Chain A
Amino acid sequence: QKEVEQNSGPLSVPEGAIASLNCTYSDRGSQSFFWYRQYSGKSPELIMFIYSNGDKEDGRFTAQLNKASQYVSLLIRDSQPSDSATYLCAVRVSGGGADGLTFGKGTHLIIQP
């Protein structure tokens, strides 16, 4: 059973600070890792993906992957109130696997003005 675990939160972060979101996964065969953001009442939207160990930066967002420890994280620098949302971690096994994307249940992030 492939599992993706996230702290459900809410995670409260002051505006301008760094928000750190973490995710662990159980399947060592997982090859691709994704972060989706979902605003309340809206559908998920992809914000970052990472395939290799290390860091990947895109604007205020940094995704970090450590396959040995089976965790992936998302850092949001200079957090803004508009970053308040639920962040979903998702993983995919290479070769398509049998299950498509496996999502965590999400971390609810609140940026306090």
Chain B
Amino acid sequence: KAGVTQTPRYLIKTRGQQVTLSCSPISGHRSVSWYQQTPGQGLQFLFEYFSETQRNKGNFPGRFSGRQFSNSRSEMNVSTLELGDSALYLCASSWGQENTGELFFGEGSRLTVL
């Protein structure tokens, strides 16, 4: 079956702009999580959505937001981009049960902020 699909795969923005990233989870998966990966900080949790509701949120500023649609597809938005937002943004899906870290990651969206 198809894996987690993220679009776009690569994008370049300038400071102050905003960006929207999209994620389509594995069919049947109801939970979508977003992570930021950088060489210095590693993988850091952004937020998790389940049944269109944000279930968990990491320690990122309010410029980072997300949402989930009724078909479980998710988007994340970063407003007022900063140079430090350059990173690989990974989406991961899971069935959605409580207390699971059994995540299936997409290939990521690599964001470069100039």
Asked if A99 meets B59 with Cβ closer than 8 Å, knowing A32-B99, A104-B42, A105-B42, the reply is yes
| Bound complex: CA A45 to CA B109 (Å) | 16
B95 CB–A CB distance under 8 Å = no
Verify A95–B101 contact, CB threshold 8 A: no
B107 CB–A CB distance under 8 Å = yes
- The 8 Å CB contact of B58, one of A42, A43, A100, is A100
Number of interface residues of A (CB under 8 A): 26
Q: Most chain-A CB neighbours within 10 Å: which of B55, B57, B100?
A: B100
Verify B43–A103 contact, CB threshold 8 A: yes
Q: Give every chain B residue within 8 A of A100 (Cβ-Cβ).
A: 33, 35, 45, 47-48, 56, 58
A110 CB–B CB distance under 8 Å = no
Beta-carbon nearest neighbor of B40 in chain A: A105
A87 CB–B CB distance under 8 Å = no
Q: Which residues of B contact A (CB under 8 A)?
A: 33, 35, 41-45, 47-48, 55-59, 90, 98-108
Q: Which residues of A contact B (CB under 8 A)?
A: 31-32, 34, 42-46, 49, 88, 90-92, 94-106
Q: Can you sample 23 A-B contacts with CB below 8 Å? A: A31-B99, A32-B99, A32-B101, A34-B101, A34-B102, A43-B105, A43-B106, A88-B43, A92-B99, A92-B101, A95-B98, A95-B99, A96-B98, A98-B56, A100-B33, A100-B45, A100-B48, A101-B35, A103-B42, A103-B44, A103-B45, A105-B41, A106-B42
Enumerate the 6 nearest inter-chain pairs by beta-carbon distance, A residue then B residue, closest first: A100-B45, A105-B42, A43-B105, A103-B43, A92-B101, A34-B101
